[in-house]
Amino acid sequence: MRPLLTLGARALRSNFGRGPRPFKLTLIVTFACDTRCKMCNIWQRPKDGVMTIDEVSRFFERNPYFSWVNLSGGEIFTRPDAAELIEAVVAGSPDLYLMDFPTTGQQTDSVVAGVERALATRLPKLLVTVSLDGPREVHEEIRGREGAFDHAIATFRRLRTLRSKRFDVFLGMTLSTFNRGALFDTIEAVRAEIPDVELDEFHVNVAQVSSHYYDNEGLNPTDDACLADVDRFLEQKGHRFHPVAWLERRYQRLTRGFVASGKTPLPCKALASSVFIDPRWRVFPCSMYDAPLGSLRDRDFDLVGLWAEERTTALQREIAEGRCPNCWTPCEAYQTILGNLLRPAR
């Protein structure tokens, strides 16, 4: 119960100013991936210099205060030591309440085994999202891998059997110009395989541009046509009183304004509540802003010292004022929503 209360207190405090340290971490553990997505070029990024398990343990030894850790890639289960890495994060994080990660779902046995090992730790809450960007033909065209749809469905089906108060799994669809109008065709395609799947089991977001992470600068991934799917999804999904459902609904309702204006709809909490670290231990404000703050390998993994530097605090003010690339990705939007509970969209 204490980690949940700690996360709640830190999220509440974030409404009143910058924290003395971040409570949410996005940790990119590899650029290797087992799909070749059209809207993302992570799979083309160099794979050298990736973080080791010893480094992960050292980082969390020096920074044991995170309440929420998002692991991502690439595909984290391209790492043969992915399960050990997850265990190292949990072991070094006494305040950790929530861990979440996406997966392409292409390595079903490895993903399921990794989730089972995570649930064998003291981790209070684990959320996993299996990526699915369309019905079979659309998904495999976007992902550049034959059989990708069936692998994703198989992984989702097996993870559903592990659901509990501590664990939940969703299908995550990223709307883009490559799959516009395909959301409800995707839902029907899933129901043909898993008839009892509910709308609440789908997480829907919109594609973003990032030069330092997705390496997809110059792509125009989302347009107004994608928003018709979001509007219809919100209308049909209805309201369910659950924190995750509320966050997603708030995110989706603010998506239209972002697509229309290109502006983040709320003052962003990057470098106020959260931080992004890539596989070479380079620190960035978030997944979108190419403003490197330095390498933790050069600082013996001292993130708090970097967090307190004037350059970091100045960059945080710049972001809060919207003088950054602007985005509306769930990786940054959810803690931003939690840190602006009483503020209307701008």
| Whole-Å CA distances, 194 to 152, 160, 215 | 12, 11, 34
Under 8 Å between Cβ of 80 and 306 = no
Instruction: Please determine, for residue 239, whether its predicted confidence score (pLDDT) is greater than 90.
Output: no
d(CA 86, CA 98): 12
Sign of the Cα torsion 29, 31, 37, 40 reads: positive
pLDDT value of position 245 = 84
At 346, the pLDDT band (50, 70, 90 cuts) reads: confident
Q: Provide the mean pLDDT of the chain.
A: 94
Task: Render pLDDT for 302-339 as a digit per residue (tens, 0 to 9).
Answer: 999 999 999 999 999 999 999 999 999 999 999 999 99
Residue 291 is predicted with a pLDDT of 97
The reply to whether 155 falls in a domain is yes
E strand or H helix at 174, and its extent? strand 167-175
Domain limits for position 72: 2-338
Confirm whether 344 is domain-assigned.
no
State pLDDT tens for residues 190-215.
999 999 999 999 999 988 889 999 99
In the prediction, which pLDDT does 149 show? Answer: 98
Evaluate whether 16 touches 189 at the Cβ level (below 8 Å): no
Asked if residue 129 belongs to a domain, the reply is yes
CA distances from residue 49 to 29, 32, 52, 79, 282 in whole angstroms, order as listed:
11, 12, 9, 13, 11
Contact between 34 and 104 (Cβ < 8 Å): yes
Apex CA 117: angle with CA 174 and CA 70, to 5°?
Answer: 35
Q: Which of 287, 275, 332, 269 is nearest to 65 (CA)?
A: 275
Cβ-contact 53, 84 below 8 angstroms:
yes
Tell how far CA 170 is from the center of its chain. 13
At residue 168 the predicted structure's pLDDT band, cuts being 50, 70 and 90, is very high
End-to-end, the C-alpha distance of the chain in Å comes to 35
What count of Cα atoms within 13 Å lies in the side-chain half-sphere of residue 181? 1
Considering just the CA atoms, what is the radius of gyration of the chain in Å?
19
Residue whose C-alpha is closest to residue 126's, from 68, 168, 87? 168
Does 345 reside within a domain?
no
pLDDT top residue among 295 and 208: 295
CATH number at residue 253: 3.20.20.70
Which token pair is 22?
A: 């971040």
User: What pLDDT is recorded for position 177?
Assistant: 87
Domain total in the chain: 1
Which tens digits make up the pLDDT trace of 93-125?
Answer: 999 999 999 999 999 999 999 999 999 999 999
* Matching residue, tokens 């602007």: 326
List, for residues 9-65, the tens digit of each pLDDT value: 999 999 999 999 999 999 999 999 999 999 999 999 888 889 999 999 999 999 999
* Pairing assessment for the beta strands 68-72 and 167-175 based on DSSP bridges: unpaired
Any domain includes 235? yes
Q: Residue 86 has which token pair?
A: 């997850």
- pLDDT one-digit tens code per residue, 129-140: 999 999 999 999
Residues facing residue 251 across a β-bridge? none
Give percent above pLDDT 90 in the chain: 81
Mean pLDDT of 131-157: 98
Which spans in 207-270 are helix H? 224-237, 243-261
Structure tokens at 14: 């974030």
Q: What would the pLDDT profile of 62-98 be if each residue is shown by its tens digit?
A: 999 999 999 999 999 999 999 999 999 999 999 999 9
Rounded to whole angstroms, the Cα distance separating 78 from 76 reads: 5
- Which single residue is written with the structure tokens 């079979």? 136
CB atoms within 10 A of CB 258: 23
pLDDT of 234 over the 80 cut: yes
Structure confidence by residue, pLDDT tens digits, 240-265 = 777 888 898 999 999 888 888 889 99
Amino acid found at 70: N
